[in-house]
Amino acid sequence: MLSPDEILAEAPEKDAETVPAPATPPGQEDPVSADYVRRTVAGVLGDLDKLEALAPGDLTERGDGWDSGCFAAACQLARAANSGTDYTIEQAEKDFKNRCPTDDGFGPGRVAHKWSDALETVGDDPLHPQNPSADEDFGPYMSGKPKNARPRSWCAVDLSCYLDGSYTPPRPTLLRRTDDVCLLYPGLTHSIHGEPESGKSFLVQYEAARLIMEGQFVLYVDFESDAGSLAERLTLLGATRRAIEQYFTYVRPETNPSQGEDANDFAAMLNKRYALAVIDGVSESMAVMGTAGTDPNSDAIDWATRLPRRIADVTGAAVVQIDHVTKNSETRGRWAIGGQAKLSALTGAAYMVEVREPLGRGRRGALTLWVAKDRPGFVRGHSGARRPDGVQQAAEVVVDSTGEHVEFTVSPPTLASVGDEALEKMKVRIAEFLNEAPGASLNKIRECVDGNNSRKGHALNSLVADGYVQRDHRGQATLHTLVRPYAPELQVHDLGVGE
């Protein structure tokens, strides 16, 4: 494969070999020359070399870290291959996979996945030169040496990369409900807050265990618990020793990582791609990070910039902050303890956890997850009705600790009201059917129980959340068993709203 300098050396001063193209339809751009494509490819490969040399935690002048920079390069190579010259998509793929930086957590498999994502994003889109004679137009980055600090923030932002059809808004991909709706956004910051022993940390640890068992990296910055307790929980959640040792990074900070060995350790921590990053104990973290302590809102913004946003921007992780709420449920509102800026500083979503049935060893607990903020907006559209305080029911969570391992079931909200007779009738029908056919799948229930399939799904999820039906996973199958009789006339309904 040619180096960027060799490609530039081979490029003729004038593109004499380009075959005349058909007339460009009105409103469309002129075809891109072969010379321009060659110089673009050389610029992109040079950018990949710069990313290889990027120091841990550093960003390019455009604000890209290793992860987002490699994706931008892949997209630009794909566009070059779509531009009607002899540079093919096969060559573009080969160039990207040979030059894309890798490390222990970002190997050939994830490089291939990033290339596939770029192809899906770009589609048939070709290059869109702003100025075909300007060198700075050849690569996906602004020219210049990567900087240790964040990019300048008061200069005008170039929006062309968001207007050329390549930009897609962030979508949630983690903490998946049983209906395949996800609740956490990669690369953005989130909050999960609730009262003590509400299961807020346990919920995120469940997702961490699931991810490391899939071979994805997780960072856990712990200001509240200890290594032994966390290791035990991951094991109870089904994570193996090999998965924990290979894919789980655990940090227990006690000092501000501003200088010396702590600064080096902090930079090394950020020099990896994580699917999920957890900051457990926000108030304790703010104290360790050394916020001024004079104004809660200013402290919240300063801390959010220095820690959770930094982790999200550099590593691409979905960052989750575990936080507490005030004791008074009547006055706490929809945010965690402290300044309102804790909520406004989030770039992803915020969730409140309420306990419906207590959690504990040997118990079957139940939680309700309420979405209090959803900046990108892809969660609220799949949530329940909006309460007067602005929150919506995002999920019902069952935590079954009665077996050898702890089982989590994250289900969509029950969208019916307390007085929905149709839903109650459906729950009775399903309970009666499961009494006669234990271990039935969802498809079997839909086939054998009369009524609307959507209502069957809501009714079944409600029965699971309330502890009447147990949901077991055996291979690819999901089976349902009635564990106690459902007698609606004896039940006091609770939709998780604070009393």
Q: Residue 438 is part of a domain; what is its CATH number?
A: 1.10.10.10
Residue 422, pLDDT > 70, answer: yes
**Of the residues 99, 129, 163, the one at which a domain ends:** 163
Mean pLDDT over 411-424 rounds to 65
Instruction: Indicate the pairing of strand 349-357 with strand 364-374.
Output: antiparallel
Average pLDDT, the chain: 79
Under a CB-based contact definition with an 8 Å cutoff, are residues 108 and 102 in contact?
A: yes
Please indicate, yes or no, whether residues 97 and 124 belong to a single structural domain of this protein.
Answer: yes
SS3 of 26-88:
CCCCCCCCHHHHHHHHHHHHHHHHHHHCCCCCCECCCCCCHHHHHHHHHHHHHHHHCCCCCCC
**pLDDT on residue 176:** 95
**Of the residues 411, 430, 446, the one at which a domain ends:** 411
Please indicate, yes or no, whether residues 406 and 425 belong to a single structural domain of this protein.
Answer: no
Q: Which residue has the higher pLDDT, 373 or 293?
A: 373
Which of 258-272, 316-330, 364-378 shows the lowest mean pLDDT across its residues? Answer: 316-330
Please indicate, yes or no, whether residues 140 and 27 belong to a single structural domain of this protein.
Answer: yes
Within a domain: residue 246? yes
| Nearest residue to 105 (alpha-carbon basis) of 221, 275, 262, 265 | 275
**pLDDT on residue 436:** 92
Which of 38-52, 140-154, 391-405 shows the lowest mean pLDDT across its residues? Answer: 140-154
Please indicate, yes or no, whether residues 335 and 430 belong to a single structural domain of this protein.
Answer: no
**pLDDT on residue 19:** 32
Q: Which residue has the higher pLDDT, 489 or 112?
A: 112
Under a CB-based contact definition with an 8 Å cutoff, are residues 144 and 100 in contact?
A: no
Mean pLDDT over 173-198 rounds to 93
Q: State the burial class of residue 96 (Cβ atoms within 10 Å of its Cβ: 0-12, 13-18, 19+).
A: buried
**Of the residues 113, 136, 163, the one at which a domain ends:** 163
Within a domain: residue 265? yes
Under a CB-based contact definition with an 8 Å cutoff, are residues 349 and 190 in contact?
A: yes
Which residues, 6 or more positions from 310, have their beta carbon under 8 angstroms from its beta carbon? 57, 270
**pLDDT on residue 135:** 46
Mean pLDDT over 204-217 rounds to 95
CA dist 200 and 205 (Å) reads 9
Q: Which of 137-151, 158-172, 263-277, 475-489 has the highest mean pLDDT?
A: 263-277
Please indicate, yes or no, whether residues 150 and 224 belong to a single structural domain of this protein.
Answer: no
Q: What is the CATH number of the domain that holds 243?
A: 3.40.50.300
Please indicate, yes or no, whether residues 239 and 365 belong to a single structural domain of this protein.
Answer: yes
**pLDDT on residue 211:** 96
pTM: 0.57
Within a domain: residue 496? no
**pLDDT on residue 14:** 36
Within a domain: residue 169? no
Q: Is the dihedral of CA 460, 462, 468, 474 positive or negative?
A: positive
Q: What is the pLDDT of residues 77-103, one digit of tens each?
A: 998 999 889 899 999 999 998 888 876
Q: Other C-beta atoms within 10 Å of 275: how many? A: 25
How does residue 398 score in pLDDT terms, banded at 50, 70 and 90? very high
Q: Which residue has the higher pLDDT, 451 or 294?
A: 451
Mean pLDDT over 184-200 rounds to 91
Token readout for 396 is: 């019902």
Token readout for 45 is: 């490969």
Token readout for 205 is: 């640890």
- The partner residues of 440 in beta bridges, in order of sequence, read 480
Token readout for 437 is: 């056919």
CA dist 437 and 204 (Å) reads 34
Please indicate, yes or no, whether residues 238 and 129 belong to a single structural domain of this protein.
Answer: no
- Number of domains the chain is built from: 3
Within a domain: residue 269? yes
The length of the chain is 499
How does residue 296 score in pLDDT terms, banded at 50, 70 and 90? confident
317: containing domain: 174-411
CA dist 446 and 430 (Å) reads 9
**pLDDT on residue 61:** 58
Please indicate, yes or no, whether residues 217 and 320 belong to a single structural domain of this protein.
Answer: yes
**pLDDT on residue 286:** 85
Q: State the burial class of residue 401 (Cβ atoms within 10 Å of its Cβ: 0-12, 13-18, 19+).
A: middle
Within a domain: residue 332? yes
**Percentage of the chain exceeding pLDDT 70:** 78
- The partner residues of 323 in beta bridges, in order of sequence, read 193
Mean pLDDT over 97-126 rounds to 79
Within a domain: residue 109? yes
Within a domain: residue 499? no
How does residue 181 score in pLDDT terms, banded at 50, 70 and 90? very high
Please indicate, yes or no, whether residues 145 and 185 belong to a single structural domain of this protein.
Answer: no
Which of 148-152, 359-363, 423-427 shows the lowest mean pLDDT across its residues? Answer: 148-152
Mean pLDDT over 279-284 rounds to 88
- The partner residues of 386 in beta bridges, in order of sequence, read 392
CA dist 266 and 417 (Å) reads 49
Token readout for 474 is: 């055996």
Please indicate, yes or no, whether residues 345 and 311 belong to a single structural domain of this protein.
Answer: yes
Residue 29, pLDDT > 50, answer: no
| Nearest residue to 351 (alpha-carbon basis) of 190, 201, 204 | 190
Cα-based distances in Å from 250 to 193, 245, 261 = 21, 10, 17
What DSSP letter does each residue of 239-277 carry, written as one string?
A: --HHHHHHHEEEE---S-TTSHHHHHHHHHHTSS--SEE
Please indicate, yes or no, whether residues 251 and 397 belong to a single structural domain of this protein.
Answer: yes
Instruction: Indicate the pairing of strand 318-324 with strand 276-280.
Output: parallel
Please indicate, yes or no, whether residues 155 and 201 belong to a single structural domain of this protein.
Answer: no
Residue 304, pLDDT > 80, answer: yes
Residue 348, pLDDT > 70, answer: yes
Q: Is the dihedral of CA 259, 264, 266, 267 positive or negative?
A: positive
SS3 at position 230: helix
Which of 5-9, 132-136, 166-170, 267-271 shows the lowest mean pLDDT across its residues? Answer: 5-9
**Percentage of the chain exceeding pLDDT 90:** 35
How does residue 413 score in pLDDT terms, banded at 50, 70 and 90? confident
Under a CB-based contact definition with an 8 Å cutoff, are residues 182 and 190 in contact?
A: no
